Amino acid sequence: MTPTLWRILNVAEVEPHLYEITALRHEPGKYAEVEYGVKLQPLPTFVLPSSAPPAGLAVGESLYKTTNGGVKVMVTARWTQVATATEYRVRWQREGGNWTSESPV
């Protein structure tokens, strides 16, 4: 399978951490087809089935004591599993930091 190419036309932040992207599918060989009559062969692609995001997302924060007497913050996230989901990929970000990906759960 070959991934498709897209030309981004616009990116708009709809609400915090939610973006709307407008794009057109891009075929780099189209110019050769128009100018020289070269016939393009469609590349083998497929569409992955989409599924609904998890429902009932709840995030909690709690403090705990470390072995050396310090205090740290623990964040937990819970959600209702979608029946067709086989795994979830969790990503999180500290304010101003980089995104961190956890192992699939």
- Digit-by-digit pLDDT tens for the chain (105 residues) are 677 888 999 999 888 888 899 999 888 777 777 787 777 777 777 777 776 777 888 999 999 999 999 999 999 989 988 887 888 888 888 888 888 888 877
From 79, 87, 83, 81, select the one nearest 56 (Cα to Cα). 79
Burial (0-12, 13-18, 19+ Cβ within 10 Å), 60: exposed
Q: Among 11, 32, 48, identify where a domain stops.
A: 48
Domains in the chain, number: 2
Please tell me whether residues 36 and 69 are part of one structural domain.
no
Q: Among 33, 48, 63, identify where a domain stops.
A: 48
User: Which domain range does residue 69 map to?
Assistant: 55-101
Distances (CA, A) of 53 to 58, 60, 87, 88: 13, 19, 12, 10
Q: Among 12, 32, 48, identify where a domain stops.
A: 48
pTM: 0.44
Residue 54: how many other CB atoms lie within 10 Å: 14
